[in-house]
Structure 1
């Protein structure tokens, strides 16, 4: 039995099996990008590689990765309420000299693509001078019923400027800013709704839920990141109390 206000240290595909059909109001997540362990940045002009996610080898054959993401998204479709939204953060990648778009597998799922938001991260560690430097990622807004509408309470455009949180702060190589899930939550849910993050990482979506009086469920395969998430959540809760 899956309980709310809890992060489960397990593979999300195993965990979501225990969630009932059409029981989740909103899903917000960013899966591993299958970057072959190539998380890197530049320090004093020198490339520094971080390696893999803790507890997960981000190095699948591309066709296996895409098939897995298609299956994952269809499972999210099953548990999402008919009037719910999913916010799926991913990016275009270059493989063998060609752009691979997340649309390649999203369009194979049951979801309707409601909108695509550009996340302007303002900087990048990818400084390949053979191309213009990529400083954006994408937020795919997906729903089941194309009559369901978001509430753009902040009157935002479809380009959001935000920086990712440095690894030295959270211990995770790809933490999005809490502003991202907070914007999603405010536009697609109401107080008391249930928000799921299947790739919870270090708990940013959970913190956004706490800040906005939403319930959350999370799955995180890495024990290291799960422990960090629970510590971060406890810090937030203790300040509220």
Structure 2
């Protein structure tokens, strides 16, 4: 947005911004209407209030206010306009033709390696040099499904900073699902993938399905039991800087056997003549990764409301991160990613905005990152 930066849902001014008198009036109307009725005005109601000729004019005003950072809108959703948190919280009333200056963030020369940092991950990443991280493995707060101590997250702004700090060829693996509300999915995962690829510049290297096995005794009589989560694997640049999937291979069912009649169809549709094929003893795991969650991790780990399997970050780090690489989890939660990184002898950084979760992660680092644990992996 023009002269603005989003920082965890808060807008920081990084230059001089103006509102025309008409834009100021529209902003004030949206703010007052929302405060009085506890929901946003429709485009038609704004049109009637200002006696405008068409809804298209309303759209133009709101688009300008959004670009300048005064409002936030959700596309294709009715009554979705809301005044940005900064405007609501600031003690200074925003006036037309008001100029506000804020100095750009100071870029540190060295990353705070091998630390669990408590703070706003987006703001913290803004102070880091570009192209400095090898891999991100994380599961961000989404759809308010769990208790995140009152904090929310702008996934789009997070993606922008993650892209900037990743090295060319770096990977971001994100564990995510969608909330089901009134028998419909939120589609947060799909919207995030499109936003990170189309707007920010990532490639979608692959989408892995994390097969997690729902509770056996669950009585799901209104919809299907959810046995999976998505792990979109985002790539910055042309190709991964490092890739080694040997540890991910699984035994072939018919490994060592010679099979006859094996014919292969090429991408262009041409079929290769049948021939004898000797099956390799091991094969690629593919894109469905199974993890047992029952009994996974300590009681300390599960003091956090939303965890993923201990083995998951090991698999991604070994596949995409070189030995001298740096692993980042900007929403570190219980510390599963940083525990894996340290036990794999990679440098790491973990960030979380909730002090309670930072303490859990630090305690796990002390308990689970020891000589015995390192020998297990």
Q: Same fold (TM over 0.5)?
A: yes
Runs of 4+ in 1 over 6 A off after TM superposition: none
1:134 to 226, 249, 262: 226
Residue 151 in structure 1 maps to residue 221 in structure 2: no
Indicate conservation of the 8 Å contact 1:119/1:162, yes or no: yes
Helix, strand or coil at the partner of 1:185 = helix
Residue 56 in structure 1 maps to residue 185 in structure 2: no
Helix, strand or coil at the partner of 1:137 = strand
Q: Based on CA coordinates, which of the two structures has the bigger radius of gyration?
A: 2
2:194 to 103, 107, 126: 107
Residue 75 in structure 1 maps to residue 161 in structure 2: yes
Q: In structure 1, what is the Cα distance between the partners aligned to 2:352 and 2:333?
A: 6
Higher mean displacement: 158-167 or 100-109: 158-167
Indicate conservation of the 8 Å contact 1:10/1:222, yes or no: yes
1:161 to 275, 281, 290: 290
Give TM-score, length-normalised by structure 2.
0.54
Change beyond 3 A, Cα 1:167–1:208 = closer
Helix, strand or coil at the partner of 1:107 = helix
What residue is the counterpart of 1:231 in the other structure?
A: 363
Tell me how far 1:99 sits from its aligned partner: 2.0
What residue is the counterpart of 2:46 in the other structure?
A: none
Q: Which runs of 5+ in 1 are unaligned?
A: 38-51, 59-64
Tell me how far 1:14 sits from its aligned partner: 1.5
Tell me how far 1:216 sits from its aligned partner: 0.2
* Equivalenced residues, count: 218
CA RMSD of aligned residues (A): 2.2
Q: Which runs of 5+ in 2 are unaligned?
A: 1-107, 250-284
Higher mean displacement: 230-239 or 145-154: 145-154
Tell me how far 1:188 sits from its aligned partner: 0.2
Indicate conservation of the 8 Å contact 1:167/1:175, yes or no: no
Q: In structure 1, what is the Cα distance between the partners aligned to 2:123 and 2:151?
A: 18
Residue 33 in structure 1 maps to residue 142 in structure 2: yes
